[in-house]
Chains A and B, each alone.
Chain A
């Protein structure tokens, strides 16, 4: 089945230790998104790729970076995680970028910072 896969599902990292979360998709969608979701809150868009074009949200901290080496994969790098970065990180894809279309989400990676 076509899907969005996130690894790992649970990640524990130490304060200040870089961490990378990964997302892959078999849907061949051209747009990939990364969201941060804290407990009982709405998903907050961090950035997205429209094909190879990177679009950063204005309030996304510099501590968060992303890479998309090809259509199928997208990575979220947190260079120096703080306690406030503990959250669920959701990857999503959609088939177009001009106007929002239905987004397909992965199961998420829950990040714990100790």
Chain B
């Protein structure tokens, strides 16, 4: 399977703390994307990092990519209760025309 694996499956933190989620994948990629999904809703694109990039920031989000380890991490700083959601990584594998979604991390931020 080309599906990515995310770690941890679930994460519970206090408001104001940082949250880190990890994604591992198996083959060469063109880019890696992170999406957020609120319960019972569609996915929302957060950030895209290309294979030749190592780090990218967007507001309170920081994404890193290590292609040698085939892994990425998403850091959410100063978390808020509204950040409670599931977070998915999605990879665009070399030679594929579609995204392959990881298994997701369920984040709960406790007010």
List chain A positions with a Cβ less than 8 A from chain B.
4, 6, 33, 40-43, 45, 48, 50, 55, 88, 90, 92, 97-100, 102-108, 110
Contact flags (1/0) for B68-111 with A, using CB distance below 8 Å? 00000000000000000000101010001111011110100000
Interface residues on B, range: 20 to 34
Q: Are A108 and B42 in contact (CB under 8 A)?
A: yes
Q: Are A98 and B41 in contact (CB under 8 A)?
A: no
| A43, B41: Cα distance in complex, Å | 12
A-B contacts, CB under 8 A, total: 60
CB distance from B101 to the nearest CB of A (A): 4
B27, CB-defined interface residue at 8 Å? no
Nearest A residue to B86, CB-CB: A40
Q: Are A102 and B42 in contact (CB under 8 A)?
A: no
CB distance from B63 to the nearest CB of A (A): 14
> Within the complex, which residue of A41, A102, A105, A108 is in contact with B33, where a contact is CB–CB below 8 Å?
A102
Q: Are B40 and A110 in contact (CB under 8 A)?
A: yes
Given the interface pairs A41-B103, A42-B88, A42-B104, the reply to whether A97 lies near B44 with Cβ below 8 Å is: no
